[in-house]
């Protein structure tokens, strides 16, 4: 029989039968890492649940390379294939390449690839990558899907290293190397080199950084206008991340000076699982939102924050951000003009 090593469980029964067999159990998690495991390890229902974990629950899934992964693991014929950011070709048993992974032009700007300290520039960070040992890739993946982004790539051959795409509410990531541990354990790597640890810490943090909770609060920007009344929409889902209707929803609003407002949030008639109320933010500053929802003998809680400013969301950070505009122009093949050279348009 298969044996499972359970690490960091909350109770003795958690995951005692291995990979979850119900949505309610699987959707408790924010992120999943699928290692060197063939598609047939999962039942047809579990494969469908993986798809829904991304699309409906909005979780992050990281797929790792290996001889039982991607096309070589039979995923091309599974429902999971549509969620992957890479194109799966015909399986090639025995394929193996030692390659050095480097950030792409897009990857060099992504927080995931920042291995150098905050005081180092882009050239220093690229040098960190160039000094890392080669990794082994056994899955010949050369093409990303339309809409996917490639952050790491090998130069020769032109193998994909790390690619991702949005799928539904979630994010699907493919890391094709099967042994990034060499960045820590290789004899040529200094004992104090933290590149491997930094990379994985940033990768996992990013993987779940936008995973929604069962209570989601708008405005997503967290910015409202001081001295005004604002409609606060709240979306609530059940354990399977379907809209939860009929909940009793309360809001405790605590202002910058400690003043409190207690409100009930009625459900919107035309939107299942959507609740809202009007809140008053009489003074500028940070407001704490304590939300409690009760339904079917279950209680959910969420704490969120909104900032009330004199200018509101429309003019929030409205100052000129020249660096951002220059980068946008460069990346899209355009040109950045200032008032001084606008006559060149």
Q: pLDDT, tens digit, for every residue of 251-292? A: 999 999 999 999 999 999 889 999 999 999 999 999 999 999
CA 176 to chain centre: 18
Structure tokens belonging to residue 25: 């159990």
Spatial CA neighbour of 90 closest among 75, 103, 101? 75
Q: What is the pLDDT of residue 8?
A: 78
Q: What average pLDDT does the segment 181-197 reach?
A: 94
What are the boundaries of each domain within the chain?
A: 23-207, 215-309
Which helix H or strand E contains 113, and what residues bound it? none
187 or 325, which is more confident? 187
Contact between 116 and 124 (Cβ < 8 Å): yes
| DSSP structure class, residue 106 | T
Per-residue confidence band for 123, with pLDDT thresholds at 50, 70 and 90: confident
Stretch among 1-5, 112-116, 265-269, 282-286 having the lowest mean pLDDT: 1-5
Q: pLDDT, tens digit, for every residue of 43-77? A: 999 999 999 999 999 999 999 999 999 999 999 99
pLDDT value at 250 more than 70:
yes
User: pTM, whole model, 2 decimals?
Assistant: 0.85
Percent of the chain with pLDDT over 70: 94
- For β-strands 135-137 and 160-167, DSSP reports them as unpaired
pLDDT value at 240 more than 90:
yes
CB count in 10 Å sphere of residue 267: 19
Can you list the alpha helix ranges (DSSP code H) found in the chain? 23-26, 44-52, 122-130, 182-185, 195-207, 322-331
Give the span between the Cα atoms of 105 and 155, in whole angstroms.
13
Q: pLDDT, tens digit, for every residue of 203-226? A: 999 999 999 999 999 865 578 889
Give the span between the Cα atoms of 312 and 317, in whole angstroms.
10
Q: What is the pLDDT of residue 328?
A: 79
Contact between 284 and 310 (Cβ < 8 Å): yes
Spatial CA neighbour of 18 closest among 35, 34, 6? 6
**Candidates 3.30.930.10, 3.30.70.100, 2.60.40.10, 3.40.50.300; CATH matching 215-309:** 2.60.40.10
CA 165 to chain centre: 10
Q: Which residue has the tokens 């004992």?
A: 191
Which helix H or strand E contains 344, and what residues bound it? none
Per-residue burial over 221-250, b = 16 or more CB atoms within 10 Å of its CB, e = otherwise: ebbbbbeeebebebbbbbbebeebeebebe
Q: Domain 23-207 is of which CATH architecture? A: 3-Layer(aba) Sandwich (3.40)
Q: What residues contact residue 244 under an 8 Å CB cut-off, 6+ apart?
A: 214, 236, 237, 238, 272, 273, 293, 295
First-last CA distance in the chain: 71
The DSSP secondary structure of 57-68, one letter per residue, reads I--EEEEEPSTT
pLDDT value at 315 more than 60:
no
CB count in 10 Å sphere of residue 78: 21
Q: What is the pLDDT of residue 269?
A: 87
Q: What is the pLDDT of residue 141?
A: 96
């Amino acid at each position: 029989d298969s044996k499972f090593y359970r690490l960091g469980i909350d109770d003795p029964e958690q995951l005692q039968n291995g990979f979850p067999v119900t949505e309610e159990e699987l959707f408790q998690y924010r992120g999943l890492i699928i290692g060197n495991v063939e598609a047939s390890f999962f039942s047809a229902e579990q494969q469908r649940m993986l798809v829904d974990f991304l699309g409906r629950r909005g979780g992050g899934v990281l797929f790792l390379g290996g001889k039982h992964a991607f096309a070589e693991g039979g995923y091309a014929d599974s429902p999971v294939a549509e969620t992957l950011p890479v194109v799966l070709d015909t399986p090639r048993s025995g394929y193996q390449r030692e390659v050095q992974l480097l950030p792409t032009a897009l990857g060099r700007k992504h927080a995931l690839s920042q291995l150098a300290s905050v005081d180092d520039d882009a050239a220093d960070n690229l040098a960190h990558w160039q000094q890392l040992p080669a990794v082994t890739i056994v899955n010949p993946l050369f093409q990303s899907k339309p809409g996917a982004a490639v952050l790491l790539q090998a130069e020769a051959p032109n193998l994909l290293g790390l690619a991702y795409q949005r799928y539904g509410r979630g994010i699907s990531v493919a890391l094709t190397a099967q042994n990034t541990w060499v960045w820590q354990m290789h004899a040529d790597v200094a004992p104090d080199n933290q590149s491997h640890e930094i990379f994985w810490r940033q990768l996992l943090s990013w993987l779940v950084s936008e995973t929604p909770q069962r209570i989601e609060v708008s405005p997503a920007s967290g910015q409202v206008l001081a001295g005004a009344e604002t409609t606060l929409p709240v979306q609530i889902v059940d354990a399977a991340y379907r809209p939860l209707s009929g909940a009793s929803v309360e809001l405790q609003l605590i202002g910058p000076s400690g003043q409190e407002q207690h409100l009930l949030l009625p459900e919107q008639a035309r939107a299942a699982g959507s609740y809202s109320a009007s809140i008053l933010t009489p003074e500028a500053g940070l407001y704490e939102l304590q939300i409690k929802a009760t339904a079917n003998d279950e209680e959910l809680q969420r704490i969120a924050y909104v900032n009330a400013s004199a200018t509101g969301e429309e003019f929030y950070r409205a100052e000129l951000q020249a660096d951002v505009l220059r980068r946008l122009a460069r990346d899209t093949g355009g040109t950045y003009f200032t008032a001084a050279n606008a006559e060149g348009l």
